[in-house]
Amino acid sequence: MRREHELYADSAQARDTDRREEERFDIHDPWPPLTKAELREQREMLRRDRQRSAAMVTQAVTQIGAFWGLDTDRRFS
C-alpha cells in the first residue's frame, strides 16, 4: 500500500511539473496566420518541389534501367 501511495505521489508531482512548464513557457503558436498571397506562394513552391522530385525519380529510374538494359520508356506515376 505504501508503494502505491509513493507511485501516486510521484505521478502527481510529474503532472504538476508538466503543468508548471507549460505555464512558464506559455506554449502557443508564435507565427501569425499567412495571407492569401503567402499561401498561394507556398502552394506554388510545393508544386515546383514535387515536380522537381518527380523529374529526379524519373531520371534515376531511366538511368538504372539503362544500366540493366531495361525498357524504361514508359511513364511512371
| 54: helix, strand or coil | helix
Of 49, 51, 42, which Cα lies nearest the Cα of 77?
A: 51
- Residue 24 neighbours by CB distance under 10 Å: 8
Each residue of 21-75: pLDDT tens digit?
Answer: 666 666 666 677 889 999 999 999 999 999 999 999 999 998 998 888 877 666 5
Cell 525498357, located at residue? 71
Output the pLDDT for position 73.
Answer: 63
What is the value of pTM for the model shown? 0.47
